[in-house]
Amino acid sequence: MNNSKTEKELMFKLVEVKYGDRLDSEQLAAIKTRIDRIMAVIDEIRAVPLENGDEPFNVFKPYRRD
C-alpha cells in the first residue's frame, strides 16, 4: 500500500502544528521534502507482506536482579 498524498500532508501538518513556531518558511519547506523521502522509505517496508508470526528481532527478557 502506498502512502497517499493525504498521509504525507497529515504528517507535515503534525510537524507544523507541533513545531511550526520554531521554524521559518524555508525550514518548513525543507521538512516537507524530507518527509516525502522518509515516507517513500516507509512505503517500501510497508510493501513487504508479513504474517502475525513474524516477530520483531528484539527479544524482551523480564528483568530480575538475583
Measuring CA to CA, how many Å separate 4 from each of 25, 39, 66?
Answer: 24, 10, 51
Half-sphere exposure of residue 53, counting CA atoms within 13 Å on the CB side?
A: 0
Residues near another protein (CB under 8 A) are 11, 14-15, 18-19, 22-23, 27-28, 30-31, 34-35, 38-39, 41-42, 44-48, 50, 54-58
Give the nearest distance from C-beta 2 to another protein in angstroms.
13
CA distance 7 to 4: 5
Give the nearest distance from C-beta 6 to another protein in angstroms.
13
User: In the complex with another protein, which residue's Cβ is closer, 55 or 66?
Assistant: 55
